[in-house]
């Protein structure tokens, strides 16, 4: 019997999520079970967009952004076409059309087209209505569609944007950041540290208001101000003013807010969130919400041969036929962790299907009866962490509940949901704030500012779905100066160990002293204390002094 023809897999998008998918699929490509063609719009190989703020302020080099070995993928037989756009998907003919006009056939199509920066409505900045528009054939204008941002205005999304920002940081320029989400705050803090003068302008009362509650946001704003960043809240940007440079070109001059404030600067960085690149899917008739709708197996709701992963994917349970098409829960998080988990999951599923093996991790030592892993990996709740040296902010889940919220009334059908309880610690003077929202002892949300060790532990507890200690204050002490468990006790308590090599306690030495052993050498002979590494001899002397038997006079 003839070998079946290898499955033709086409991946659209070569960002970090696409690259992870490629890497994990290499074994089946090498084995000849599948062919893989990657089409990426950016000219560069996949790079780590998470670090783009670091790159934009000169804190990370270009090499540090590399996340994949494209040469190795090519050597394994993967065809990689960068700088190429896809303009259409044909579901009936099972092809994609490239910007060049060429068509690529596929048996399985994976969309990892990512997200683009939102450009807000500002007088002076061209706004695009994109949802009905076909992707351009020229990959270089995939997001701008030819309507480039004015000079001195960037949306920090790709390497070119980063270079523009880097120029402003290097010259110590004044940077206005519009939007105080994670990326905006990371950029602002890093640029300020890099020597730029930075001002963050945002709508609401607090920065990172999607992730933080009022307490956490307020402490973060204070920390940012302490780090030299101007934080301008309650400000709705309306328009952009330009001046004409010596070369005759118009350049950003100032941002004008609804209340008449003018905030001048050399560079305006738009950090107003992202939107999934869904046009291709939309045009192909695939269901789209805030991203391309896929089920828990990352298959399109409408076509099981088409998959979406990463920032372009909206993972949700498909609506039953005839059910309301109201916006499904969830949606892309804009975070890399979930995207990588999805890439891993999808590659594992493909591999299992192609090799005829059951999916699953061989190294998993977790017996099922002892508790299932924390939900579908692809859907695990995301934790947001601010990457900024000296400003520690971590948050996850629903952080809105307040300790004094009144309990919602029970359902009329008698169902009694476990109530949410909230524990909180606020010490704004020292830049510390923690909120733990739990249901049945398990975190459903948390905020942690200025307490890195506590943040790390809360992250682990949240991601695993583990039970918190009943005494929540245990979790607050990790960052205290007294976090030396068990230490700080009486160094001369009878059971305090003096010689660890021989397990000799203060009490044993005191007894030996009482029996007439008055020197370190005598104590060694009597108890073996000090006869190992010898490091405790001075301490034996101290114990002897303390417990010396008074010489009868």
Partner 1 sequence: MTPTTATHCPYCALQCAMTLTGDAGGVTVAGRDFPTNRGGLCKKGWTSAELLSSPERILEPMLRQPDGSFAVATWDDALDLVAARLAAGRAGHGADSVGVFGGGGLTNEKAYQLGKFARLALGTSRIDYNGRFCMSSAAAAGNRAFGLDRGLPFPVEDLDDASTILILGSNVAQTMPPFIGHLAGARAAGGLIVVDPRRTATARLTENGAGSHLQPTPGSDLVLLLGLINIVITENLADLDYIDRRTVGFDELRRSVGQWWPERVQAQTGVPVRQLRDLARRLAAGDGTYILTGRGVEQHVDGTDTATAAINLSLILGLVGTSHSGYGTLTGQGNGQGGREHGQKCDQLPGYRKITDPAARAHVAGVWGVHPDSIPGAGIPAVELLASMGEPDGIRTLLVHGANVVVSAPNAERVRAGLAALDFLVVCDFFFSETAALADVVLPVTQWAEEDGTMTSLEGRVIRRRTAVAAPAGVRSELWIFQELARRLNAPSSFRTDPAEVFDELCRASAGGPADYSGLSYGLLDTGEPAYWPYPAGSTGTPRLFQERFRHADGRARIHAVRAGVTDAPAQTGGILTLITGRLLEHYQSGAQTRRVPELVLARPEARLQLHPATAAQLGVADGGWVDVTSSRGVVRCRAEVTGDIRHDTVFLPFHFPGEQSANRLTADTTDPVSGMPEFKRTTVRVRALAGGERGTHG
Q: Shortest approach of partner 1 to residue 324 CB, angstroms?
A: 32
Q: Shortest approach of partner 1 to residue 478 CB, angstroms?
A: 9
Within 409-448, the residues that bind partner 1 by CB under 8 A are: 441-442
Distance CA 319, CA 327 (A): 10
Q: Which residues of 400-439 are buried (b: 16+ CB within 10 A; e: fewer)?
A: ebeeeeeeeeeeeeeeeeeebbbbbbeeeeebbbbbbbbe
> Residue 391 has which token pair?
């400003």
Q: Which of 351, 454, 331 is nearest to 36 (CA)?
A: 351
* One residue of 4, 248, 260, 485 binding partner 1 per CB under 8 A: 485
Distance CA 324, CA 320 (A): 8
* Residue among 138 and 427 whose Cβ is closer to partner 1: 427
Within 170-209, the residues that bind partner 1 by CB under 8 A are: none
Q: Work out the angle at residue 32's Cα, subtended by the Cα atoms of residues 30 and 38, and round it to the nearest 5 degrees.
A: 70
* Residue among 197 and 457 whose Cβ is closer to partner 1: 457
Q: Shortest approach of partner 1 to residue 499 CB, angstroms?
A: 9
* Residue among 70 and 278 whose Cβ is closer to partner 1: 70
* One residue of 12, 18, 28, 48 binding partner 1 per CB under 8 A: 48
Within 321-350, the residues that bind partner 1 by CB under 8 A are: 336-337, 340-341, 344
**Contact range with partner 1 by CB under 8 A, out of 59-67, 75-83, 159-167, 252-260:** 59-67
Are 111 and 306 in contact by the 8 Å Cβ rule? The answer is yes
Q: Shortest approach of partner 1 to residue 259 CB, angstroms?
A: 35
Does the footprint of partner 1 cover residue 455 (CB under 8 A)?
yes
Q: Shortest approach of partner 1 to residue 216 CB, angstroms?
A: 16
Interface map 284-323 toward partner 1 (x if CB under 8 A): ----------------------------------------
* One residue of 317, 533, 538, 548 binding partner 1 per CB under 8 A: 533
**Contact range with partner 1 by CB under 8 A, out of 3-11, 47-55, 151-159, 241-249:** 47-55
**Beta strand segments in 184-266, E:** 197-201, 229-232, 237-244, 250-257, 262-264
* One residue of 31, 43, 134, 474 binding partner 1 per CB under 8 A: 474
* Residue among 46 and 306 whose Cβ is closer to partner 1: 46
Q: What SS3 class is residue 171?
A: coil
Distance CA 54, CA 269 (A): 15
* Residue among 264 and 359 whose Cβ is closer to partner 1: 359
* One residue of 7, 197, 295, 457 binding partner 1 per CB under 8 A: 457
Within 503-532, the residues that bind partner 1 by CB under 8 A are: 503, 528, 531-532
Interface map 71-90 toward partner 1 (x if CB under 8 A): -x------------------
| DSSP bridge partners of 262 | 256
Query: From residue 482, how far is each of 307, 468, 486 by CA, in Å?
Result: 51, 21, 10
Phi, psi of 426 (to 5 degrees): -125, 125
* One residue of 484, 516, 551, 553 binding partner 1 per CB under 8 A: 484
DSSP H or E stretch at residue 478: none
Q: Work out the angle at residue 44's Cα, subtended by the Cα atoms of residues 38 and 50, and round it to the nearest 5 degrees.
A: 95
Within 352-411, the residues that bind partner 1 by CB under 8 A are: 361-367, 369-374, 377, 383, 385-387, 389, 392, 394
Distance CA 200, CA 202 (A): 7
Distance CA 398, CA 436 (A): 10
Distance CA 542, CA 523 (A): 12
* Count of residues that bind partner 1 according to CB under 8 A: 76
* One residue of 60, 159, 302, 420 binding partner 1 per CB under 8 A: 60
Distance CA 512, CA 535 (A): 19
Q: Shortest approach of partner 1 to residue 375 CB, angstroms?
A: 9
> Residue 223 has which token pair?
């920390």
Q: Shortest approach of partner 1 to residue 197 CB, angstroms?
A: 25
Are 221 and 231 in contact by the 8 Å Cβ rule? The answer is yes
């Amino acid at each position: 019997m003839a070998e079946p023809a290898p499955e033709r897999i086409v991946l659209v998008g070569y960002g970090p999520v696409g690259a992870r998918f490629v890497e994990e699929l290499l074994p089946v490509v090498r084995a000849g079970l599948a062919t893989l063609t990657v089409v990426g719009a950016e000219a560069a190989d996949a790079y780590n967009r998470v670090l783009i703020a670091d790159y934009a302020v000169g804190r990370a080099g270009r090499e540090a952004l590399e996340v994949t070995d494209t040469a190795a993928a090519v050597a394994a037989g993967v065809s990689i076409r960068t700088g190429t756009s896809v303009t259409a998907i044909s579901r009936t003919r099972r092809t994609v059309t490239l910007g060049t006009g060429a068509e690529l056939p596929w048996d399985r199509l994976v969309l990892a087209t990512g997200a683009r920066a939102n450009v807000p409505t500002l007088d002076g900045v061209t706004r695009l209505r994109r949802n009905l528009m076909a992707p351009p054939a020229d990959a270089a204008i995939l997001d701008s569609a030819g309507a480039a941002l004015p000079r001195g205005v960037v949306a920090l999304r790709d390497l070119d944007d980063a270079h523009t920002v880097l120029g402003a940081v290097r010259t110590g320029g004044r940077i206005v950041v519009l939007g105080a989400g994670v990326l905006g705050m990371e950029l602002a803090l890093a640029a300020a540290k890099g020597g730029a003068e930075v001002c963050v302008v945002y709508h609401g009362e607090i920065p990172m208001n999607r992730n933080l509650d009022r307490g956490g946001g307020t402490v973060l704003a204070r920390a940012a101000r302490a780090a030299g960043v101007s934080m301008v809240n309650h400000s709705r940007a309306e328009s952009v003013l330009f001046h004409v440079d010596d070369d005759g070109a118009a350049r950003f001059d100032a941002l004008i807010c609804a209340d008449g404030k003018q905030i001048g600067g050399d560079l305006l960085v738009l950090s107003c969130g992202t939107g999934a690149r869904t046009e291709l899917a939309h045009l192909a008739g695939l269901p789209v919400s805030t991203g391309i709708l896929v089920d828990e197996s990352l298959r399109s709701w409408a076509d099981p041969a088409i998959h979406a992963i990463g920032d372009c994917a909206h993972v949700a349970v498909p609506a039953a036929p005839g059910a309301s098409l109201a916006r499904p829960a969830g949606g892309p998080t804009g975070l890399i962790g979930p995207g990588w988990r999805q890439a891993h999951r999808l590659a594992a599923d493909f591999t299992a299907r192609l090799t005829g093996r059951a999916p699953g991790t061989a190294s998993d030592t977790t017996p099922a009866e002892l508790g299932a892993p924390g939900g579908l990996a692809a859907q695990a709740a995301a934790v947001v962490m601010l990457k900024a040296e000296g400003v520690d902010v971590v948050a996850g889940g629903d952080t809105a509940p307040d300790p004094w919220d009144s309990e919602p009334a029970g359902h009329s059908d008698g169902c009694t949901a476990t109530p949410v309880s909230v524990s909180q610690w606020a010490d704004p003077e020292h830049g510390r704030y923690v909120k733990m929202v739990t249901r049945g002892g398990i975190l459903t949300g948390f905020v942690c500012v200025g307490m890195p060790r506590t943040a790390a532990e809360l992250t682990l507890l949240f991601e695993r779905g583990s039970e918190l200690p009943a005494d929540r204050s245990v979790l607050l002490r990790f960052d205290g100066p007294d976090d030396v468990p068990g230490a700080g006790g009486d160094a001369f308590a009878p059971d305090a160990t003096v010689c660890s090599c021989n397990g000799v306690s203060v009490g044993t030495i005191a007894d030996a002293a009482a029996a007439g052993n008055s020197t370190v050498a005598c104590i060694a002979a009597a108890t073996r204390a000090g006869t190992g590494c010898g490091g405790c001899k001075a301490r034996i002397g101290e114990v002897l002094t303390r417990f010396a038997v008074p010489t009868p006079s």
